[in-house]
Structure 1
Amino acid sequence: MVIKVFLASSSGSTAIKKKQQDVVGFLEALKIDYTQLDIASNEENRMWMRENVPGEKKPTNGIPLPPQIFNEEIYCGDYETFFEAKEDNAVYEFLGLTPPPGSKEEEEQASEED
């Protein structure tokens, strides 16, 4: 399974750049394999992202902004849902991945099963 992070390499928005850096930095810190897909320089990536973000997750103008996160073809969420998962120690669950042994998330799942 590959985590796909759709980014815009040439975004004029400082807020979007910060959100993209936050997502990528966090995935790297957790050593989670991911692929960056640029929507600014690749029309196929842009079209795929727009078509695969669920309708209820699209903004009123219908154009989702990066970063958008997928696990293969399965939509995980945008920056706001990623941030909530991060705050709740639920990033692996958010990404559809099994938490590694010893992680906070793995310990929480184990205590819930007891």
Structure 2
Amino acid sequence: MTLTVYYSSVSGSTKMKKEQERIFSILDSKNIYYIRVDISQSSDDKDKMRKLASDKTALPPQICNGDSYCGDYAAFDTAVENGQLTTFLQA
């Protein structure tokens, strides 16, 4: 399966931008392969992200492994703090 991070390159939210960058930074530092999907480029990608998250109003960043939903930034942050990133990512 492929780890996917859904994000937005055009968010006006500083909080969202910082959350996205922290996810990218941590995954990069651990040499974890993932793809970035910019939902601002395609409404189909946004719809897919929301379907996987089972939330019609979900906002990025959202993390999935294949078609399995891992969680949002808060869940990612908790997993990192608890040393459970591998479990969270279903890797």
Instruction: Report which of the two structures shows the higher radius of gyration computed on alpha carbons.
Output: 1
Per the alignment, residue 75 of structure 1 pairs with 69
TM-score, normalised via structure 2 length: 0.96
- Show CA shifts across 1:9-44 (max 9, x none): 110000000000000110000000000001011111
Unaligned runs of at least 5 residues, structure 1: 98-114
Identity, % of aligned pairs? Answer: 36
TM-score, normalised via structure 1 length: 0.77
- Show CA shifts across 1:52-71 (max 9, x none): 112xxx4xxx4111100000
Q: Does 1:22 align with 2:16?
A: no
How many angstroms apart in 2 are the aligned matches of 1:20 and 1:66?
A: 8
State the 4+ residue runs in structure 1 displaced beyond 4 angstroms: none
Unaligned runs of at least 5 residues, structure 2: none
**SS at 2:40 equivalent:** coil
How many angstroms apart in 2 are the aligned matches of 1:52 and 1:70?
A: 8
How many angstroms apart in 1 are the aligned matches of 2:45 and 2:31?
A: 24
Per the alignment, residue 3 of structure 2 pairs with 3
Per the alignment, residue 96 of structure 1 pairs with 90
How many angstroms apart in 2 are the aligned matches of 1:52 and 1:34?
A: 17
State the Cα RMSD in Å: 0.8
How many angstroms apart in 1 are the aligned matches of 2:9 and 2:81?
A: 26
Q: How far is 1:92 from its partner? A: 0.6
Return the letter of the residue paired with 1:49: M
